[in-house]
Structure 1
């Protein structure tokens, strides 16, 4: 097992990257979301839009206004899990803040050979790979600038981005659970 660091040790990268912060998100759900206030709002049917006071939204807005890109491809089951439906709803605020979130069904991701782990790629230079337990809790992150690992992350980004669908269009295609 590689050396894992707490995620908090790499959060500075979200403010110091030069041009692009890109994420592949593959989990069917995240333990931290299940206990969040935002999740409770979602369950009550509240809209989860842009909140300029939310630290993530404020930073995304600041960075994108400076000409930087925040991008994400979210892998979604068909039909989406309840946790994924929450992420689709809560992601709208991120999109309003300036993040470009796209979605790809899991079957297609597997067809294209995308990995089964989450990671952030900063400036095509630093790869931060998440390690999760079976419940979706983050165990830590592995940080590397090793050229082969970063190149693989860049290749995954290109394939995922090419096939993924913008959030608004994807949501219009998601089948209702009713």
Structure 2
């Protein structure tokens, strides 16, 4: 699930174009506009959940350059991120639907 600015940044446009290939091979690519994520009170952190047991929080500097990653394995914190992930997925839309929305805006 990816959160996208409106308008998308250059990097987000790259990821969206690449997501077309991923979706075509069967990957469930979901997207969410940033304002919808904010309305749903989702945190701004960039994170990945692995097997509902480990969370990797990606850290970026002020220029949006990747800096490092924090690994979380504490069960209560992992559960909190799983709940955030589930809320984000619930509010997101499949790639094809999102791409159509983006195309209609341009």
Do both proteins adopt the same fold according to a TM-score greater than 0.5, normalized to the shorter chain? yes
Query: Which has the larger Rg?
Result: 1
Work out the CA distance in 1 between the residues paired with 2:71 and 2:26.
25
Matched, 1:135 2:59: no
The equivalent residue for 1:82 is 10
Per-residue displacement from partner, 1:14-60 (whole Å, max 9, x unpaired)? xxxxxxxxxxxxxxxxxxxxxxxxxxxxxxxxxxxxxxxxxxxxxxx
Work out the CA distance in 1 between the residues paired with 2:99 and 2:25.
18
Work out the CA distance in 2 between the residues paired with 1:120 and 1:167.
18
Matched, 1:107 2:59: no
Q: Aligned-pair distance for 1:93?
A: 2.0
Work out the CA distance in 1 between the residues paired with 2:50 and 2:37.
21
- Of 45, 48, 62, the match for 1:117: 45
- Of 66, 78, 82, the match for 1:154: 82
Aligned length: 104
Q: Aligned-pair distance for 1:127?
A: 0.5
Which blocks of at least 5 consecutive residues in structure 1 are unaligned?
A: 1-72
Which blocks of at least 5 consecutive residues in structure 2 are unaligned?
A: none
Q: Aligned-pair distance for 1:82?
A: 2.7
Q: Aligned-pair distance for 1:96?
A: 2.9
Work out the CA distance in 1 between the residues paired with 2:97 and 2:41.
24
Per-residue displacement from partner, 1:64-104 (whole Å, max 9, x unpaired)? xxxxxxxxx11111222232222110122222344211111
CA RMSD of aligned residues (A): 1.3
Runs of 4+ in 1 over 3 A off after TM superposition: none
Equivalences for 1:1-178 in 2 at 5 Å?
Answer: 73-174=1-102, 175-176=105-106
Work out the CA distance in 2 between the residues paired with 1:167 and 1:104.
10
Work out the CA distance in 1 between the residues paired with 2:69 and 2:34.
23
